[in-house]
Amino acid sequence: MNKILKDFSKDQVWAYFLLVLGSFLFAVGDVMFVNPYLLAPGGTYGLSNVLNTVWPWKISYYAICMDIPLLLIGTWILGPRFGVKTVVSTILIFFFTWLLETTWGYNPVIHEGILSGSEGIHGLVQIPHSEQFFRPDYFLNTVVGGVIYGVAIGLIFKSGATSGGSDIISMILHKYTKISLGTLVLVVDSCITLTTLIAFKQIRLPIYSIILIAIESKIIDLIVDGLKSYKTAFIVTDKVDEVRDYILHDLKRGGTIFAGTGLYQGAERQMIYVTLDRTDLVKLKSNLRRLDPSSFVNVIESSEIMGLGFKALPEE
């Protein structure tokens, strides 16, 4: 019992560490990279960046004024599905954003010579180009901002929290319209991104914001799912025993054998279902010609594999 409590405590401490770190990095990405370049990559903080520039008030104040009502409305309509960690994440991001706004301001990191003594793109000190460590660069800033955002949200997801915010709007619309949640999230975030075009009349701003979102989504997948890439192979073969022995004894993997009927001739065939990492799949493909030259193989991408030998099933 004591061991269970100890492990539970370690898991919770690690989860909240990821939550705090992710919330802090989110604030860093928003205040230091997204806001100074007038970007709005979706979410309540994306909209808050636009409002902060048009009607100066702290980003954190705008965001919390939207996040709290959305959490309350979401809980009322959808039920208490957001959990304590989502509420904690909302509060932490608000606090860290407010702290950076108060101490750092809205000066960009990638601008004229911050590491050479300049006061920034809005300051009075100008440094010759030859002495600048960083220069104003929308694309570089977008890439760095997307990476920071992606790491931040990925860590928040790994801690067991959800993003909340404008995603709640998508969840509510999904409940009543039955449109896929992914489509609604894209629509809501795209509308927020387009506010930069309306507010600042610059077409590059929504374009860079969309690029940032694309980079962010890839980094989130990398953080949440890890570097491992898995493939699922469906192998139709007349030499099931040879292929099965190779998978079990050489690749040290398990699998499942299905019985099926060929569509063209109506003959009984057997099919092996097996999930492998990229390296083992290459070995399997290179040996299948030797084991059964007439075999038929269909390989599909597997975004997430859980169970014995792979990622552990989630706890309730």
List, for residues 149-166, the tens digit of each pLDDT value.
989 988 988 887 876 777
pLDDT in tens, 272-312: 999 888 788 888 888 888 888 888 888 888 766 666 666 66
Instruction: For residue 90, give both structure tokens.
Output: 């909302």
Tell me the β-bridge partners of 316: none
Among the ranges 60-69, 79-88, 288-297, which has the highest mean pLDDT value? 60-69
Kindly list the domain boundaries of the chain, sorted by start residue. Answer: 2-225, 230-302
d(CA 29, CA 88): 19
List own/partner pairs for 249-256 with CB under 8 A and 24 or more apart: 250/283, 250/287, 251/276, 251/280, 251/283, 251/284, 253/280, 253/309, 254/308, 254/309
At 116 the pLDDT is 39
How many Cβ atoms from other residues are within 10 Å of residue 115's Cβ? Answer: 9
pLDDT over 60 (residue 129): no
pLDDT the model gives residue 2: 53
Predicted local confidence at residue 314, as pLDDT: 60
Cα separation, 53 vs 36, in Å, equals 9
- The CA–CA distances, whole Å, from 231 to 218, 219, 226, 243 equal 18, 20, 14, 17
**Alpha helix positions (H), 79-203:** 83-103, 138-158, 167-177, 181-200
Packed helices 167-177 and 59-78: angle between N→C axes, nearest 10 degrees = 30
Tokens of residue 292, six digits: 């059964």
Q: Going by C-beta distance under 8 Å and a sequence separation of 6 or more, which residues neighbour residue 78?
A: 168, 171, 172, 175
Burial (Cβ within 10 Å: 0-12, 13-18, ≥19) of residue 148? buried
Residue 33: the pLDDT is 93
What's the whole-number mean pLDDT along residues 82-93?
86
The closest of 141, 142, 145, 45 to 89, measured between CA atoms, is 45
For the cut 90, the answer to whether the pLDDT of residue 30 exceeds it is yes
Give the residue carrying structure tokens 């898991």: 11
> pLDDT higher for 196 or 313?
196
Residue 119 has pLDDT above 60, yes or no: no
Q: Specify the pLDDT at position 121.
A: 42
Q: Give the helix/strand (H/E) hosting 67.
A: helix 59-78
The pTM score is: 0.73
**230-302 is classed in which CATH architecture?**
2-Layer Sandwich (3.30)
**96: nearest Cα among 65, 63, 66:** 63
Judge contact between 156 and 19, C-beta under 8 A: yes
Quick one: 118 exposed, middle or buried, by C-beta within 10 A (0-12, 13-18, 19+)? buried
What the block records as the tokens of 216 is 């962010």
For 60-88, what is the mean pLDDT? 86
The per-residue pLDDT of the chain, averaged, comes to 81
